[in-house]
Structure 1
Amino acid sequence: MKMPCTRCHALILPETAARTGGLCMPCKSGTRAHIDAAKIAAERERELDASDPFRIHWRQLVARVVESSSGLAQLSEAEKQYWAVDRLFFEVHNGGFHQYFFNSPSEAYSAAVDGLTAMAATTSLLLLQKAKQAIFGFAVVPIETITRRTILIGAESDSLQERLNRLDAQFWQDPDGIEGRIKAFALSRGLVRLT
């Protein structure tokens, strides 16, 4: 028969209680506070997913793109720019410009350029263009993922990686405050309405 932890009251086995002085393993190891904080954070995220107009819009946009065979082509220009800048921001912050150009979001490179221009995110735009030129030179960024990957793999070198690392570090500093600009863009283009 299980018994309550003397600190948090979670039910534990008597053998565990005997070994830990009546504490559950998370309380004994000191991780209970982290577990509880993670639960609170997860609940907060669920609340925001249901109430934040930007998150609601994003989920609807993703559903439209994923559920349609025409993907991004069905979006308005403003929606494409919003999508492209958001994905650029996510990919570069997740794995750098190399990851951005290696993965599918860079198929919308032109929309990202247009979006950063419309958002007046000039430093971020310059960094994106420098990364593009380091990999593709003056050629157009191919839309096809396999073509981009082939070029990227063929261009890989220590010197390219060093250049991209420097550009990544500058982009990660978020000199233009991209998240705020993305939200302002969505509001100004009527993509999101605050009610």
Structure 2
Amino acid sequence: MPDTAARTGGLCMPCKLGTRAEIEAAKVAMKRLCELEDTDPFRLYWLELVNKVYKSDAGIAGLSNVERQYWAVNCLSGEVHNGGFDQYFYNSSGSTYSDAVDGLKAMGATTSLLLLEKAKKMIFGLADVPGETGIRRRIQVAVDSDALQRRLDQLDKKFWGDAGNLATRIENFAISHGLVRADR
């Protein structure tokens, strides 16, 4: 896009923002996921949860407390790695904020939890995160600024830097609660 090129000195946005490496790493991870689609127990369990949430009348309410925590932390991780904390709160995943907080606590993922809470406070202040997507979006649009985006971008990068630790904690949580058998 000519306008973007003019603003970024000819660089694409990922290069300008310094996120090119994360994007390339995500591509490699997605390729690995595709290769493991039919054999990885964590991927198979995730697909089971997706079916429970999206193909049943109960939806997310039909999940147990532990399943909701696992679901919410995975949604958080996916959204932040894809588009940052602002994307997490903007999309429907933001409605799982409380379960994500509980899940991160249960997993002992204190770094990720602190970053999530900081992002929440930057956007919503001391108020609770609204469950309704439309309300969250209106609040985000109202508080959006370049300064806020820069601060959120810094939190995103810190979250990405702890990705391996969080992924291990998510897997250990699933195993320890009997959601996934590693030998399955």
**TM score, norm. by length of structure 1:** 0.75
Which one has a bigger Cα radius of gyration? 1
The Cα RMSD (Å) is: 1.8
Q: Identify the residue that residue 161 of structure 1 maps to in structure 2.
A: 149
Residue type at the aligned position of 1:93: H
Where do 4+ consecutive residues of structure 1 move more than 4 Å? 44-47
Correspondent of 2:137 among 142, 149, 152: 149
Which consecutive unaligned segments of at least 5 residues does structure 2 have? 1-26
Change (3 A) 1:92 1:64: same
Does the CA contact (< 8 Å) of 1:91 and 1:99 recur in 2?
A: yes
Question: How many aligned positions are there?
Answer: 155
1:185 aligns with 2:183: no
Provide the rounded CA distance (Å) in 1 between the counterparts of 2:131 and 2:61.
Answer: 12
Residue deviations 1:73-110, cap 9 Å, x none?
Answer: 11001100000001101100110001000001111000
Task: Considering fraction of residues, name the structure with more helix.
Answer: 2
- The alignment partner of 2:84 has SS state of helix
Aligned counterparts, 1:8-157, within 5 A: 45-157=33-145
Give the C-alpha shift of residue 69 in structure 1. 2.5
Q: Distance in 2 between matches of 1:112 and 1:134?
A: 17
Q: Which has the higher contact order (CA 8 A, sep 6+)?
A: 2
Q: Indicate conservation of the 8 Å contact 1:121/1:176, yes or no.
A: no
Q: Deviations over 1:141-181 (max 9, x none)?
A: 01110010010011101111111011111111116711111
Segments of structure 1 that go 5 or more residues without pairing to the other structure are 1-37
Deviations 1:6-33 (A, max 9, x none): xxxxxxxxxxxxxxxxxxxxxxxxxxxx
CA distance in 2, matches of 1:114, 1:176: 20
